[in-house]
Chains A and B, each alone.
Chain A
């Protein structure tokens, strides 16, 4: 596909401008429409009874008392569901390497495999009554041995996560390229260690939730969801309900944050739909925060056993990696999450050979799926930490060892060596990694840091600096579509199924469209996140919407512009080259009165009953495009963090946080800056606070915001963002994704900085989160070992 804007007709009024978001006024006035804000006539409310055990057989369930409670309309168990919904959820992303497929049931039939697994669904007049009724259901369980730690779950004689399986191994993926034996020749220096990252959760401030309404007269089913992927949800619901695909609609109005876990299909969506259909009344289920801790998807628990081979000059020769991924109890995204992780390992560096042994393991804990960063923070943590260790061993500066290993801009497009998860060679399309790191270092005054450190030490303060780089595949295919339509009232509508959870997509799409049609934003409406808006779609994740939908809007708007010109030229009896267009008016250049409005043209294009169009005139001023990216567009960045460690408490204070960031062409820098600042905050949580803990029997022990700490206002500094704009050659707008870059290198950079602050203590930090308590314990242990 030839992908250049050969016409270059667009005036660049909005693209690249810090345009204020059109989403804001309603949200600021409390007029948003989140899923729990939807009120329908006769609506009922639901509550889910969940397993209190990590692993148990269900012996019996007695619902009689719950059904007797006034205001209860129904209690559903597995056996009450339609046959199609008694099947396990489909696996949307199959892979031949998966030897043990186990997806979740809508309601557990005979065995529960994590704390929080849905067992019964109660529908009542109010949520208060539904919760009362749940407490009246009596379930008799036979408690089974549970798996908790994923490395332990691989051992011989480990308990079984699923009692019907032979073991806990889901998939074993050997991935390799290059000559690994040569890389690890006796002349090489080898640095190795084992790193771990713990579980966290995305915790959007709005929990999950669904409202379903069945329209009996037409057999239509409408579901409002606080989700990320309307068409993916629709496809699963069609299968689970055995429903007519043309009679089901998923709408996502305002959604209060997503960050990954809302991109998957959850049992509650099917339950709400089944109940609405069965009871012929609208049904709402809104998750509470404790349920989100138990059953919202989580991420990041992995072990990385990495060995790095280098020359004596510090040039990387190769990497051997054994990685164990804790999948939790059920498969949701196939092998995608750990696959992204291991293929992120080389990052911006030339790594001539890699040998990977990846094992995915079931445990009796909540299921995992991508959370902002999606496996990459773990890879960057392992790679950047082992580079720090190598630098120390070789007495090299940490920036220098990175510098001499960068893929150079003139090597682009650069073939990493891996086959990526789409089955194609993993090829970086563009980027200037050396410049990105240099700009970040300059902004952070890296050169003069030793002086600051020395001065701080004389004052008894411990400050440190850390660096981490990343490369992220964004804008993944297959597609996301958009229709641009000029309406009979002269307004322009953009229609897409792409769903936003706070990213300001509507404003971004409007900016792209406005420039193509020479109009202001107030002439544009956007209908998004609605499966009725466009026939196909995937969803919002993997930093893909500006690349996919953004380019679809761009191409469709240009085609509409061509239609406007050709229809106007026909009606005004001139050549298209004689015309100009602005503010919804097309006129002959120099003759402002010889003109047609968008409204005039749209009405003509809609036709007059019985009249055929003249030759060359086509119906409708609209166009639909599905931009099909040929592969990922790779964004990259560098985090440089300077911080102070309180030796008495283990508390850290970030003094300066710099993010060099290259996500290609920026459509709206205001929004991109916000994405980076917010993503860094998420990374600070991963690095220093957030720890979803389970005990050895898989019992979660952090299930509220007192036990599990999110970063609060005092934990997040102002992030200085340095943008590079290396356009991607793979899409006409030259854009790359920007939603996750801030999160990905955060833990690596922060923990490197902590270690650097403590460098006279000779400790090497290998785990996240590095909570104050954990750091305090390490410091105390270190102190006692040096004293005795």
Chain B
């Protein structure tokens, strides 16, 4: 197989590797870089567990090839916590609302919702549900994830910001 040289920034760290041209981005992150927080749940682009941020947009790392990420900035679930290792506002809200059970879909939920909160600091429940409509979760029944996102949004806006709706 053909190996191609790529350079990517993942969670603010630069990596240069030779990759098989057919290697998916998710496999590259997981197996070449050892960043196993990104999970494969379906490998056909439906479940959303493998979602990462490419620059600022959410993408399915099972449907992208690693070579397509050449020169880009990638954020994975490993890059979401504060630098001192404490949980981000969204991660903290997830634990408080019991928004994860097995934790397998969680990385994709967190990256998808990080994108949402960056674009829309005051999402409604319906907007949160739309944002995660391409992320399957078999454990939680989704509602705690919605609750966590609304809670995180309100904390991120600060006490004086108007609430949505």
Contact = CB atoms under 8 A, between A and B. Distances in A.
Contacts of A503: 101
A706 interface: yes
B118 to A, nearest CB: 18
Contacts of A290: 44
B98 A259 contact: no
Contacts of A714: 129-130, 133
Contacts of B98: 20-21, 670-671, 673-674
B20 A128 contact: yes
Given A27-B100, A678-B139, A713-B142, A21 B39 contact: no
Given A205-B136, A677-B144, A27 B42 contact: no
Contact of B38 (A28, A30, A289): A30
Interface in A703-750: 704-706, 710-714, 716-719
Interface in B29-65: 30-31, 34-44, 46-47, 49
Interface residues of A, number: 57
A395 B110 CA distance: 51
A671 B140 CA distance: 10
A242 interface: no
Contacts of B34: 39
Interface stretch (A250-258, A550-558, A603-611): A250-258
A680 interface: yes
Interface in A665-690: 670-671, 673-674, 677-682
Contacts of B18: none
Given A24-B95, A705-B46, A30 B142 contact: no
A24 B144 CA distance: 14
B124 interface: no
A204 interface: yes
Contacts of B144: 674, 677
B26 to A, nearest CB: 11
B69 to A, nearest CB: 18
B104 A205 contact: yes
B136 A21 contact: no
Given A24-B95, A27-B100, A705-B46, A36 B40 contact: yes
A711 B141 CA distance: 8
A673 B97 CA distance: 11
B132 interface: yes
Contact of A716 (B42, B95, B134, B143): B143
B83 interface: no
Nearest to B86: A25
Interface in B47-95: 47, 49, 76-78, 80-81, 85, 87, 91, 94-95
B140 to A, nearest CB: 5
B138 A204 contact: yes
B60 to A, nearest CB: 12
A716 B141 contact: yes
B35 A257 contact: no
A34 interface: yes
Interface in A482-513: 501-504
Of listed A288, A680, A712, residue having the most chain B CB within 10 A: A712
A42 interface: no
B16 interface: no
B107 interface: yes
A29 B78 contact: yes
Given A28-B100, A502-B103, A678-B140, A705 B95 contact: no
A254 B91 contact: no
Nearest to B108: A205
A202 B104 CA distance: 15
A380 B157 CA distance: 47
Nearest to A202: B138
A32 interface: yes
B116 interface: no
Contacts of B94: 24, 28
Of listed A27, A33, A205, A671, residue having the most chain B CB within 10 A: A205
Contact of B46 (A504, A670, A704, A717): A704
A24 B30 CA distance: 21
A34 B104 contact: yes
Contacts of A206: 39, 41, 102, 104
Contact of B139 (A23, A257, A670, A706): A257
A255 B101 CA distance: 10
A206 B135 CA distance: 13
Contact of A20 (B85, B96, B105, B138): B96
B110 A28 contact: yes
Of listed B94, B98, B101, residue having the most chain A CB within 10 A: B101
Contacts of A37: 30, 36
A739 to B, nearest CB: 10
A713 B139 CA distance: 12
Contacts of B81: 28-29
Interface string A29-50: 1111110110100000000000
Contact of A259 (B40, B87, B138): B138
A128 B47 CA distance: 21
B36 A30 contact: yes
A203 interface: yes
Contacts of B95: 20-21, 24-25, 28
Interface string A130-158: 00000000000000000000000000000
Given A28-B87, A670-B98, A254 B103 contact: yes
Interface in A321-366: none
A504 B140 CA distance: 12
A30 B132 contact: no
Contacts of A128: 1, 20, 22-23
Contacts of A670: 98
A705 B143 contact: no
A710 B138 CA distance: 8
Contact of B36 (A20, A36, A712): A36
A711 B132 CA distance: 12
A256 B104 contact: yes
Contacts of B103: 23-24, 27-28, 32, 254, 256, 502
A671 B97 CA distance: 10
Given A30-B37, A674-B140, 6 more contacts: A34-B104, A204-B102, A205-B137, A674-B144, A677-B144, A704-B42
Interface of A: 20-21, 23-25, 27-34, 36-37, 39, 128, 202-207, 254-257, 259, 288-290, 501-504, 670-671, 673-674, 677-682, 704-706, 710-714, 716-719
Interface of B: 1, 20, 22-23, 30-31, 34-44, 46-47, 49, 76-78, 80-81, 85, 87, 91, 94-96, 98, 100-107, 110, 128-130, 132-146
Please name the 4 residue pairs, one residue from A and one from B, whose CB atoms are nearest each other, closest first: A30-B37, A502-B102, A256-B104, A27-B103
29 contacts: A20-B98, A27-B106, A28-B77, A28-B81, A28-B94, A29-B77, A30-B35, A30-B77, A32-B103, A34-B104, A36-B39, A39-B34, A204-B104, A205-B47, A206-B104, A256-B41, A257-B102, A257-B138, A501-B102, A502-B102, A502-B104, A504-B101, A681-B138, A681-B142, A704-B44, A705-B47, A713-B130, A714-B129, A719-B141
